[in-house]
């Protein structure tokens, strides 16, 4: 516009003699051209930004805008604001060491007058469920013993789907929480959709669920058709589903709407029968395939659609976990248990509690204690074919997350993570390797080989009092945690905690080894029977 209309350009140059831009690292190319063109004549421009916090390239932000500012305006004066008023010395030093691995940045030497503070705690867990347990336990302990408030804590993750297991662990302990930038897991559109399919399959009289899935995904069934079916249903005294079948079979619904309804009915009739012969996981996969739910999201290929696909994959993990933990699992029992996780007053608008969010949302915020979860290769940094530029932005994202912490910083990763019923083994994030040893305390709570500790040049010795590994040049000793067989852990009368059902006591033990089964009575007086190796019970 300005390049083609010189008169307009001069008009706005006269109007804006002085230009100031905040968060300059987040500007896109068009914004850059507008700013540069307006400022070129009078050259009165001030920009504020930090290239180390440029984390939005996926929505158009161009880090080269800030990196090349002194080339666009060579007479500029650069003022470095290097004093940090938020974080402890250890957090500043560790995050500075990490970001120094990036090549595309300006040299800075951050410092603080705050105390050095404690070491950054790195935890290696066996899986994401134990990771969630640990975080909930740490928060409970600090609130009980140190007088901390839930509002002092925040949990960060790389992808939205990771919130589910964290939410389950917090909810089972009645720890209040809120999610910033998204809905709680079971409130998300795609999860509600699939739960509605399952509810209708289990109970064909559930008209609320039926009407939700009627056009999800879209089938060309308009509001006029739905209104007509509802009116006829009341007139002939039949259910909405029966009326829909009757009207379509008797050609009283025409065109695309009839085709959509006929296909929908055929799918539901198949799924209603399939529930009797398929496992829950198989039934879930059939819903995805027969409705083309996943296919439509993949075809859309937007960031939102990919996030929804990740949530659906995580919901598959929920189903798989339920089947492994419950010897007599069924669709009805699954829906009953899921109902406990989706209270009617569930809302992400809660004003108090622990704050959960993705790392991207965390920018600009601060908390006394921060947990960054899922620090594994392929998850954080997230896998991408984009090469070094992507990796540097992922590192900047880690830097942003770390520097949200004022006093305490916890970094955690799981050796294995559930991917739709299969265990995916992961290496620790390279970002953990890039933090110097002197700023960290490593805690391994695993019973198998340890990726992170093995890579360190120094060895670690387990301290049974503090529950941590400390450096010991004489050799590495493996922690005797989670002893085997399972019978040594589970004993009648022992109090245990389950991520879904909360706290209970072991009432009965049967079998041994991998076939050990444990019956637990929970606070609501319900007894649940688990296969011990899959139960995810914590002591």
| Domain limits, the chain | 2-72, 120-184+356-456, 190-341, 494-534
Does the pLDDT value for residue 479 go beyond 70? no
Contact present, 189 and 390 (Cβ < 8 Å): no
Which H or E run includes 354? strand 354-358
User: Which residue reads 């209603």 in tokens?
Assistant: 272
518 - beta bridge partners? Answer: 509, 530
pLDDT band at 327 (very low <50, low <70, confident <90, very high): confident
At residue 535, the pLDDT reads 66
Domain 120-184+356-456 has CATH 3.40.50.300: yes
Does the pLDDT value for residue 169 go beyond 90? yes
Distance, in Å, from the CA atom of 264 to the CA atom of 215, rounded to the nearest integer, reads 9
At residue 513, the pLDDT reads 64
420 - beta bridge partners? Answer: none
**pLDDT above 90 as % of the chain:** 66
At residue 388, the pLDDT reads 82
Residue partners of 434: CB distance under 8 A and separation at least 6: 97, 98, 101, 395
At residue 369, the pLDDT reads 98
3-state SS of 157-191?
ECCHHHHHHHHHHHHHCCCCEEECCCCCHHHCHHH
Cα–Cα nearest to 360, from 400, 328, 405: 400
Contact present, 241 and 204 (Cβ < 8 Å): yes
Q: Which of 376-390, 417-431, 479-493, 514-528 has the lowest mean pLDDT?
A: 479-493
pLDDT band at 486 (very low <50, low <70, confident <90, very high): very low
At residue 418, the pLDDT reads 84
- DSSP state string for 300-334: H--HHHHHHHHHHHHHHHHHHHHHHH-TT--HHHH
Mean pLDDT of 504-521: 79
Cα–Cα nearest to 54, from 435, 330, 396: 396
In this structure, the number of other CB atoms found within 10 A of the CB of residue 287 comes to 20
Q: CA-CA distances (angstroms) from residue 345 to 204, 252, 318, 338?
A: 25, 40, 21, 15
Residue partners of 503: CB distance under 8 A and separation at least 6: 495, 496, 497, 522, 523
**Per-residue b/e over 108-122, b at no fewer than 16 CB within 10 Å?**
eebebebeebebbbb
Does the pLDDT value for residue 322 go beyond 80? yes
Residue-wise pLDDT for 54-63, tens only, equals 999 998 999 9
Task: Tell me the average pLDDT of the chain.
Answer: 87
Distance, in Å, from the CA atom of 70 to the CA atom of 360, rounded to the nearest integer, reads 27
Longest dimension (CA), the chain: 87
Q: Which CATH number fits domain 190-341: 3.40.190.10, 3.60.15.10, 1.10.486.10, 3.40.50.1370?
A: 1.10.486.10
Contact present, 477 and 462 (Cβ < 8 Å): yes
Does the pLDDT value for residue 464 go beyond 50? no
Mean pLDDT of 328-346: 77
**Per-residue b/e over 29-39, b at no fewer than 16 CB within 10 Å?**
eebbeebeebb
Does the pLDDT value for residue 508 go beyond 80? yes
At residue 483, the pLDDT reads 31
At residue 517, the pLDDT reads 79
Q: How many helices (H) and strands (E) does the chain have?
A: 19, 17
Does the pLDDT value for residue 381 go beyond 50? yes
504 - beta bridge partners? Answer: 496, 522
Cα–Cα nearest to 169, from 532, 522, 538, 419: 538
Three-state secondary structure call for residue 28: coil
Q: CA-CA distances (angstroms) from residue 421 to 281, 323, 417, 528?
A: 8, 10, 10, 21
Distance, in Å, from the CA atom of 55 to the CA atom of 418, rounded to the nearest integer, reads 27
Does the pLDDT value for residue 242 go beyond 90? yes
Contact present, 23 and 49 (Cβ < 8 Å): yes
Distance, in Å, from the CA atom of 48 to the CA atom of 55, rounded to the nearest integer, reads 16
pTM: 0.81
Contact present, 170 and 184 (Cβ < 8 Å): no
pLDDT band at 346 (very low <50, low <70, confident <90, very high): very low
Cα–Cα nearest to 117, from 400, 467, 466, 405: 405
Ranked by mean pLDDT, which of 43-47, 180-184, 256-260, 512-516 comes out on top? Answer: 43-47
What is the CA angle 153-158-162, rounded to 5?
Answer: 75
At residue 465, the pLDDT reads 41
Distance, in Å, from the CA atom of 28 to the CA atom of 60, rounded to the nearest integer, reads 5
Mean pLDDT of 364-375: 97
Q: Which of 32-41, 227-236, 365-374, 474-483 has the lowest mean pLDDT?
A: 474-483
Does the pLDDT value for residue 8 go beyond 80? yes
pLDDT band at 387 (very low <50, low <70, confident <90, very high): confident
Does the pLDDT value for residue 460 go beyond 60? no
Does the pLDDT value for residue 462 go beyond 60? no
**pLDDT above 70 as % of the chain:** 87
Q: CA-CA distances (angstroms) from residue 175 to 167, 373, 409, 456?
A: 9, 18, 20, 36
């Amino acid at each position: 516009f300005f390049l083609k209309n010189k008169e307009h350009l001069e008009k706005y140059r006269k109007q804006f003699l002085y230009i100031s831009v905040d968060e300059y690292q987040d500007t896109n190319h068009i914004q850059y051209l507008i700013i540069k063109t307006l400022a070129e004549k009078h050259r009165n421009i001030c920009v504020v930004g930090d290239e180390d916090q440029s984390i939005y390239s996926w929505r158009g932000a161009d880090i080269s805008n800030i990196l090349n500012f002194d080339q666009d305006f060579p007479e500029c004066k650069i003022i470095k604001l290097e004093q940090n008023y938020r974080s402890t010395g250890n957090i500043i030093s560790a995050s500075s060491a990490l970001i120094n691995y990036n090549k595309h940045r300006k040299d800075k030497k951050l410092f603080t007058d705050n105390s050095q503070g404690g070491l950054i705690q790195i935890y290696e867990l066996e899986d994401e469920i134990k990771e969630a347990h640990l975080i909930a336990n740490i928060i409970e302990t600090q609130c009980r013993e140190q007088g901390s408030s839930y509002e002092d804590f925040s949990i960060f993750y790389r992808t939205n789907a990771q919130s589910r297991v964290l939410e389950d662990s917090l909810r089972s302990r009645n720890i209040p929480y809120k999610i910033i930038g998204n809905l709680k897991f079971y409130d998300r559109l795609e999860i509600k959709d699939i739960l509605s399919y399952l509810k209708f399959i289990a109970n064909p009289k559930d008209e609320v669920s039926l009407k939700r899935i009627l056009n999800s995904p879209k089938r060309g069934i308009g509001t006029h058709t739905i209104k007509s079916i509802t009116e006829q249903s009341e007139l002939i005294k039949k259910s909405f589903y029966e009326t829909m079948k009757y009207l379509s079979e008797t050609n009283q619904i025409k065109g695309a709407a009839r085709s959509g309804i006929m296909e929908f009915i055929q799918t539901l009739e198949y799924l209603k029968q399939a529930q009797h012969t398929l496992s829950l996981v198989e039934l879930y996969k059939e819903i995805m395939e027969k409705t083309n739910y996943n296919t439509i999201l993949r075809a859309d290929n937007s960031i939102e659609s990919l996030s929804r696909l990740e949530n659906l994959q995580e919901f598959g993990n929920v189903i798989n976990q339920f089947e492994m933990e419950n010897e007599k699992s069924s669709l009805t029992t699954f829906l009953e248990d899921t109902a406990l996780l989706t209270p009617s007053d569930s809302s992400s608008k809660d004003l108090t509690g622990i704050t959960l969010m993705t790392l991207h949302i965390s920018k600009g915020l601060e908390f006394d204690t921060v947990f960054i979860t899922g620090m594994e290769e392929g998850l954080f940094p997230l896998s991408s074919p984009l090469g070094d530029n992507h990796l540097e932005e992922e590192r900047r994202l880690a830097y942003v997350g770390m520097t949200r912490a004022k006093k305490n910083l916890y970094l955690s990763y799981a050796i294995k993570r559930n991917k739709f019923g299969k265990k995916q083994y992961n290496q620790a994030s390279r970002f953990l390797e890039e933090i110097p040893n002197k700023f960290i305390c490593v805690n391994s709570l695993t019973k198998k080989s340890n990726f992170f500790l093995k890579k360190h040049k120094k060895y670690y010795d387990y301290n049974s009092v503090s529950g941590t590994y400390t450096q010991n040049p004489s050799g590495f000793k493996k922690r005797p945690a989670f002893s085997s067989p399972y019978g040594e852990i589970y004993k009648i009368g022992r109090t245990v905690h389950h991520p879904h059902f909360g706290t209970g006591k072991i009432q009965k033990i049967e079998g041994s080894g991998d076939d050990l089964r444990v019956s637990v009575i929970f606070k609501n007086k319900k007894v649940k029977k688990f296969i011990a190796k899959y139960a995810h019970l914590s002591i």
